[in-house]
Structure 1
């Protein structure tokens, strides 16, 4: 028995995302083919999520007892991005567990209505010292719930 072929990923509009962050491209983001290299998109995912959490007072990267470790990531690309453009990263939470969260990020060229790329990553939150999964702190959970 064969598995059904999943539907081809499609671009999405801005309406499904709860928070946005403008991220300017940099000269060094372009690769030899004249567009932003795929590895940079994952950096934008990290920037969008962690900057939002820090700004909301839900993540203390220096002193906090709880930290998020990435266990899965994925991205689909729909349109090229190149320097000098500004990307607007849309953020939402698709699944919230007791110690984990699936973030979904849509990357839009500034002013465009559809994603140039979209993807996800999953954080498991762990105790900084033991690196064992831990329950999401209440402040973090409230910020994440607002992104659902």
Structure 2
């Protein structure tokens, strides 16, 4: 990750038995859920509600994940979320996923997060609380 980034949040998420797949490790789709949970916690910490009833909300327009080693139950994952310099309506976010008690990186990912007017489906300027985090 060569872009300048700022640590926004660190969260711990218990791995559930149902997160595993037939191979006995956390299914690849669940990593995106862990990143999503970190993103939701971050947005809510900034004073916004994540709800379809809100007039403006954050949506993802692209996402990626690189898997380095499998996560197995039981475990607690530690997700570190970073943000980059904001644009008019979006901010780039990055994620690092660890297992609690292990300093090895299990996965990393990225997502471009865009604020959207939920009534029109069009992009909306970033909330001031989000923009001010990068000043």
Into which bin does the TM-score normalised by the smaller protein fall? 0.7 to 0.9
Could you tell me how far 1:51 is from its partner in structure 2? Answer: 1.0
Secondary structure class of the residue paired with 1:129: coil
CA deviations 1:72-131 (Å, max 9, x no partner) are 010001111011100000010134211011110100110222310000111111111111
Say yes or no: does 1:125 pair with 2:109.
no
CA deviations 1:28-69 (Å, max 9, x no partner) are 011110100000000011000111210231x22234321112
Aligned residues: 130
Runs of 4+ in 1 over 4 A off after TM superposition: none
Superposed, 1:129-140 pairs within 5 Å as 129-140=119-130
Cα RMSD between the aligned structures? 1.8
What TM-score do the two structures reach when normalised by structure 2?
0.87
Say yes or no: does 1:67 pair with 2:66.
no
Residue ranges of structure 2 left out of the alignment (5+ in a row): none
Say yes or no: does 1:94 pair with 2:84.
yes
What TM-score do the two structures reach when normalised by structure 1?
0.80
Aligned to 1:21: 11
Alpha-carbon distance in 1 for matches of 2:62, 2:85? 13
The structure with the largest strand share of the pair is 2
Say yes or no: does 1:108 pair with 2:98.
yes
Superposed, 1:46-65 pairs within 5 Å as 46-57=36-47, 59-62=48-51, 63-65=53-55
